[in-house]
């Protein structure tokens, strides 16, 4: 559905709301990891029960992001964001008040659905109205939220309060964000290209038949496996596989996530100085080089440097590729294509690191390095296949 172009004040307000929305997307990720020991104690659950929570959350995320383009044919973007923000708020407040484990698991589906719709919706808005600098800034804001989440839990516990307080505070903040989306609902730029305004909106399946949409989803599936794979397995490789002290390994894992956020911030400042395609290609080549350094089992310094290089290189990849989406599909198809990419990224983040662990369990932890190197090379190949597609007629250059 078309909406009016943003007024000058809205040009400042909408990016601010989008930034807060990405902080809010990162917060639950940071909350869960730190609060999990207290959560499972509250509900008398085993350690592995977190898996069921993550599976349900991911299911909601994938379904909502995949269908976001279809939802945007009947809703304005601002109203979709308001409804999704309300869903997140209710889910988080429900976490804080939940009396039973099964209710918490059910609420994870709602939280995933709200997050997936916000992720796809704002990525669509930013890719069609802004560009790589804005998208890198927004995804850096996600990193800020992920970093703030553990701090909120720790502060609540150190104050003698429950983990529920942290979830409740974040839920109340989400209510405020949903209100902001509702009040600015008509100001958000329509995700459909103006050239296609008079034509019927394409269906999700029509978009899925486009090579640009399919290859884009594949690139995100593989790439996210690299980013999350290093985040999930580097600590285990360094400590259990190579005997490095946990404190040292933890420091370098923090450096990895810090470098990833720094890479996004850097591109948000100087992103116009290099083309998006060349930037992503260079980053993926650097990530492959860093992965190769991590493969060296007896040179700890090389492994630490490689991990940090991978983080710095990976930072701009996700948001910069997202910014090029409108140029890979015909006008009107970008909302569906963005949703497919967000869904594929969630699937890659869930399944590929799990596959790495299965192979490492059977063949040894040192196989993690070569596996991650192979994924890095595969991500580069997927991106090259994507950028070699011709630009569709009418697509944004």
Q: Residue 221's closest CA among 387, 348, 356, 382?
A: 348
Does any domain span residue 196? no
pLDDT tens for 138-158 read 999 988 888 888 888 888 888
Does any domain span residue 278? yes
- Token output for 332: 């009107």
Q: Residue 139's closest CA among 275, 282, 232, 261?
A: 261
Does any domain span residue 392? no
Q: Are residues 232 and 352 in the same domain?
A: yes
Last residue of a domain, one of 135, 160, 191: 191
Q: Are residues 225 and 134 in the same domain?
A: no
**Residue 199 confidence (pLDDT):** 62
Cβ neighbourhood burial of 314 (10 Å; 0-12, 13-18, 19+) = buried
**Residue 397 confidence (pLDDT):** 54
Domain hosting residue 240, numbered range:
204-387
257 in Cβ contact with 231 (< 8 Å): yes
pLDDT tens for 92-129 read 999 999 999 999 999 999 999 999 999 999 998 998 88
Q: What is the 3-state secondary structure (H, E, C) of the chain?
A: CCCCCCCHHHHHHHHHHHHHHHHHHHHHHHHHHHHHHHHHHHHCCCHHHHHHHHHHHHHHHHHHHHHHHHHCCCCCHHHHHHHHHHHHHHHHHHHHHCCCHHHHHHHHHHHHHHHHHHHHHHHHHHHHHCCHHHHHHHHHHHHHHHHHHHHHHHHHHHCCCCHHHHHHHHHHHHHHHHHHHHHCHHHCCCCCCHHHCCCCCCCHHHHHCCHHHHHHHHHHHHHHHHHHHHHHHHHHHHHHHCCCCHHHHHHHHHHHHHHHHHHHHHHHHHHHHCCHHHHHHHHHHHHHHHHHHHCCCCCHHHHHHHHHHHHHHHCCHHHHHHHCHHHCCCCCCHHHHHHHHHHHHHHHHHHHHHHHHHHHHHHCHHHHHHHHHHHHHHHHHHHHHHHCCCCCCCCCC
Q: Are residues 265 and 134 in the same domain?
A: no
Last residue of a domain, one of 191, 215, 240: 191
Q: Give the CA angle between residues 150, 231, 169 to the nearest 5°.
A: 20
Q: Are residues 171 and 25 in the same domain?
A: yes
Last residue of a domain, one of 191, 213, 229: 191
Q: Are residues 250 and 308 in the same domain?
A: yes
pLDDT average per 10 residues of sequence, the chain (397 residues): 47 87 86 83 85 88 89 82 94 95 95 92 89 90 84 86 93 93 78 53 87 95 93 87 88 87 88 84 96 91 95 94 90 90 92 89 91 96 93 66
Q: Are residues 177 and 266 in the same domain?
A: no
Q: Are residues 101 and 245 in the same domain?
A: no
- Give the CA dihedral 360, 147, 135, 388, nearest 10 degrees: -10
Whole-structure pTM value: 0.84
Does any domain span residue 395? no
Rounded-to-integer distance, Cα 115 and Cα 241, Å: 35
Q: For residue 313, what is the domain's CATH number?
A: 1.20.1250.20
Does any domain span residue 300? yes
Query: What angle do helix axes 132-158 and 163-183 make, rounded to 10 degrees?
Result: 150
Does any domain span residue 158? yes
Q: How many domains does the chain have?
A: 2
Rounded-to-integer distance, Cα 10 and Cα 337, Å: 26
Q: How far is C-alpha 327 from the chain's CA centre? A: 21
Write the CA distances from 19 to 1, 23, 101, integer angstroms.
23, 6, 32
Q: Are residues 260 and 185 in the same domain?
A: no
**Residue 194 confidence (pLDDT):** 47
Q: Are residues 338 and 215 in the same domain?
A: yes
Rounded-to-integer distance, Cα 192 and Cα 196, Å: 7
**Residue 361 confidence (pLDDT):** 85
Q: Are residues 209 and 253 in the same domain?
A: yes
Q: Are residues 211 and 134 in the same domain?
A: no
pLDDT tens for 327-375 read 889 888 988 999 999 999 999 988 898 888 889 889 998 999 999 999 9
Does any domain span residue 376? yes
Q: Are residues 185 and 281 in the same domain?
A: no
Does any domain span residue 56? yes
């Amino acid at each position: 559905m078309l909406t009016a172009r943003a007024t000058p004040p809205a040009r400042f307000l909408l990016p601010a709301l989008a930034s807060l929305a990405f902080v809010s997307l990162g917060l639950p990720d940071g909350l869960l990891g730190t609060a999990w020991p207290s959560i499972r104690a509250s509900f008398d659950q085993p350690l592995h029960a977190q898996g069921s929570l993550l599976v349900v959350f991911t299911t909601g995320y994938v379904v909502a992001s995949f269908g976001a383009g279809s939802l945007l044919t009947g809703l304005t973007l601002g109203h979709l964001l308001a409804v999704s923000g309300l869903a997140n708020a209710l889910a988080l407040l429900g976490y804080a008040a939940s009396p039973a484990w099964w209710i918490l698991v059910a609420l994870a589906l709602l939280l995933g659905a709200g997050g997936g719709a916000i992720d796809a919706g704002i990525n669509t808005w930013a890719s069609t109205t802004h560009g790589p600098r804005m998208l890198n800034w927004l995804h850096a804001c996600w990193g800020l939220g992920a970093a703030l989440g553990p701090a909120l839990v720790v502060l609540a516990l150190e104050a003698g309060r429950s983990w529920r307080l942290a979830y409740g505070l974040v839920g109340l903040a989400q209510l405020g964000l949903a209100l902001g989306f509702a009040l600015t609902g008509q100001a958000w730029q329509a995700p459909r290209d103006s050239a296609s305004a008079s034509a019927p909106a394409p269906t999700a399946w029509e978009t899925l038949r486009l090579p640009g949409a399919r290859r884009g989803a594949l690139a995100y599936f593989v790439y996210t496996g690299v980013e999350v794979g290093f985040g999930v397995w580097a600590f285990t490789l360094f400590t259990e596989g190579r005997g490095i002290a946990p404190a040292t390994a933890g420091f370098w894992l923090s450096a990895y996530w810090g470098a990833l956020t720094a890479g996004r911030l850097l591109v948000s400042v100087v992103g116009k100085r290099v083309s998006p395609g060349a930037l992503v290609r260079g980053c993926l080549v650097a990530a492959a080089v860093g992965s190769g350094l991590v493969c060296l089992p007896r040179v700890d310094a090389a492994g630490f440097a490689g991990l940090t290089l991978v983080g710095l290189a990976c930072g701009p990849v996700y948001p910069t590729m997202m910014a090029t989406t409108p140029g890979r599909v015909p006008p009107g198809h970008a909302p569906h294509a963005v949703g497919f990419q967000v869904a594929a990224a969630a699937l890659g983040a869930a399944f590929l690191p799990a596959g790495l662990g299965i192979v490492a369990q059977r063949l040894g932890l040192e196989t993690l390095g070569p596996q991650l190197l192979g994924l890095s090379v595969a991500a580069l190949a997927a991106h090259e296949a994507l950028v070699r597609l011709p630009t569709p007629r009418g697509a944004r250059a």
